[in-house]
Structure 1
Amino acid sequence: MPKTMKVLAFVLGLAAAGTVPTLPPVTAKEFTFDEKANAELARRLKIPVYFTVPASARISLPKTIETSDRLIDFKHPDGKSAQGDVGLRIVMAQRAGFAQRLGKSGLIQTGDVLLTFRSEWGGAGPYPNVQMGISHTGVAWIKDGVLHNIDNPLDQEYLGPGNRGEFNGSHYRTLQFIHVIRPRNLTDAERANIVAWATRLTTSASRVYPKEISFNQDYNAPKFKSGRPYDFVKQLGQIGLGQDPPGNVGMFCSEFAWSLLALRGCDPTKSADAFKRSGVPSCVKPIMEPMKATGDY
């Protein structure tokens, strides 16, 4: 895990009304462990232990969380002999009103990375194992108390009707689990900038996608190259500012999320001139150094 990221280490379990497992009642609004609930979740999830994380990787959360959704501290049965807890903090969330409830709960914050988690990928082969069951990346942002998502592709499959990004696109409506990862030490000003960029990009999505921004399907041709300028981040900023830069920038879903977070130091209401000049604006800063496929080894 890069040092600039912290695993919020909870998984959003999304369910239709009436399908949340029957678990013992919980009076305190905090993540709690229950043997019976743990056994039932282990049976339902059927994930290998390496799809979970140690407690040392988890970020601190408020002791009291205002939400009607069930908060569960899941401990993987195969990790009982490991030093420290190995598992996941799981929010069993009803789909109805999800964006409004979670936006007000404080559990998710602007800038959090949303990882589509496929529990059924456990043990399915080398690629899904290396991916730890992750198939897609988006970014969370909160505006007027409502939780939003922004993703590449910038289309209705991910952003939903009107490109509002309220987890109502078909991708999220049919999804069962989302991993949530939080960048460390984001400031209020940086989160405000992310909201401003996300607002601009979603409101212009039907105009700029796929004409100016597209999805890169060639996984052998990443935009990020170590030691090279972040021209693709600058181009994303120019598109968000409506500057109509020449050409098209095609990015993976993860590159788009990385690029949006790299704009966190740029206030779009004040930095337009910087994006018109040659070179990458000084406000563009990487959120983390991407690792090689083999990690740090």
Structure 2
Amino acid sequence: MQTVKTIKALRATIRQWRQAGQSIAFVPTMGNLHDGHIKLVETARHQADKVVVSIFVNPTQFGPNEDFASYPRTESQDQDKLIACGADLLFLPTVEEMYPQPLQTQVSVKNLSILHCGASRPGHFDGVAVVVCKLLNMVQPDLLLLGEKDFQQLAVIRRMVTDLNIPVEIQGVPTVRETDGLAMSSRNGYLSESERQVAPLLYRSLLTVRDAILKGPDDYRTIIERQAEVLQRAGFMLDYFQVCRSVDLLPATASDQNLVVLIAAKLGKTRLIDNLYFSRQLADRTEF
């Protein structure tokens, strides 16, 4: 695997691949790689000739009181994992390489970016959109692979790509979970031992909400309120817990068929997000 730290070196390698007629898949990450990231790379390997992975902890998507400074950085271990799973190129830029001058250009997906996580993390998705837009301009891949764990982020990037006519296909890859159902996340390492035992309740509540919706009636508010009480008694501080239409992440109605249940909550000092996408006509009944 080749590792490059400059845009110039990245583009030189991409140019060689293009001249050879090779297709390119791209997996953007912030590092501290886990099996969810590796699944993205492995999926990419089956769908393109070359796989580019970026590791960049992007400061523009962190708020003033968030964990940018303490976000886990494990570059050496990450490189070993990427070599083992067959990545072809790692792009490992510095903040100065990505943002040589203060940004004067915004990329904002207006409506999607102010919902849910956007409501409690103002500007977060603007930061995500601008860095992904920059990375897509640098790599110019045929295929962009993103995890479905952050369903709202996936929706924001899909809309940005559509609105700006960026010539890339986006593939969402299902959330990879621990054996007890907890969605894999770099922030899981912040959990204490006792909190780690409680954390899987988040996903079990999503399953309970899904099953209640499939049985009917369509009283989403009551279904959510019951599970919210369960989570709060277990020590979670809920940010949001909502049954949404998957197409635009607005509150679902009884006539909507394709749904996603979105949740974000703090357990101790750790903020966890998760979701469950399903159709009222056909649902994945996997249990933990």
Whose helix fraction is larger, Structure 1's or Structure 2's? 2
TM-score normalised by length of structure 2? 0.32
